[in-house]
Amino acid sequence: MDIVTLAHFAGCVGGAFDIDLGESSVSLTLSEARPLPENGFPAMRRSPFSLMFRSGS
C-alpha cells in the first residue's frame, strides 16, 4: 500500500465511511480534510494532515 496522503481524502469530503467494529459497524461522514503545518519533522515521508468525521448522532 502507498503512503496515505491528504490527496487520497480531498475528493471524499461529504462521503460516507463505514467503520467495522467487529460485531457492529458505524457510518461516518468525512466533513473536513486539511493540511497541517510541517514544523518539527524534517524526515517525514508525507505532509501531515487532519481528517474530521461526523456521525449521525
The answer to whether residue 11 is domain-embedded is yes
Instruction: Flag whether pLDDT at 23 surpasses 80.
Output: yes
Residue reference for cell 486539511: 34
pTM: 0.78
Report the distance separating Cα 42 and Cα 33, nearest Å: 22
25: alpha, beta or left, given left = phi > 0 and alpha = psi -120 to 50? beta
- Could you give the CA distance from residue 46 to residue 36 in angstroms, rounded to a whole number? 11
Percent of the chain exceeding pLDDT 90 equals 68
Q: Is residue 1 part of a domain?
A: no
Residue 33 to residue 35: CA distance in whole angstroms: 7
Domain count, the chain: 1
Q: Please give the average per-residue pLDDT across 21-48, as a whole number.
A: 88
Domain that holds residue 21: 6-55
Residue 49 lies in a domain: yes
What H or E segment, with its residue span, contains residue 26? strand 25-35
In a domain, 47, yes or no: yes
Mean pLDDT of 2-20: 93
Q: What is the mean pLDDT of residues 51-57?
A: 90
β-sheet bridge partners, residue 42: none
